[in-house]
Amino acid sequence: MARIPSAAVAASGLIGGYGIARWTGKRPLGGVALAAAGTAAALQWQREAGGKAAAGLGAAYVAAFAGSHPLAKKLGAWPAVFTVAGGVALASWAVTRSNSL
């Protein structure tokens, strides 16, 4: 079975969580998707790069979620979500790539 890169899992959690909350009108449902993808990404980060890296990337994931809210006031909702998702994906790729070489 093909493995989905942790960078894609994390980015999809941020994008999907917002999309679900927006389209259903149920913020808790979006939060469930955000948390599920974050947990899946954290498990992969742990396996790929160790506990310290997983903790740091997990903190970045939570910070990206929180930071998307004030950023949305400047950029708009979707641009803010795509910006923070891209940042988390890049950080995830960089950390897991450097530890797997």
Query: Position of tokens 């790069």?
Result: 49
Distance CA 101, CA 95 (A): 11
| pTM score above 0.85 | yes
Q: Please report the pLDDT score of residue 33 as a whole number.
A: 97
Q: Which two tokens stand for residue 76?
A: 């708009």
* pLDDT under 50: residue ranges of the chain: none
Query: Position of tokens 């450097």?
Result: 98
Distance CA 46, CA 30 (A): 24
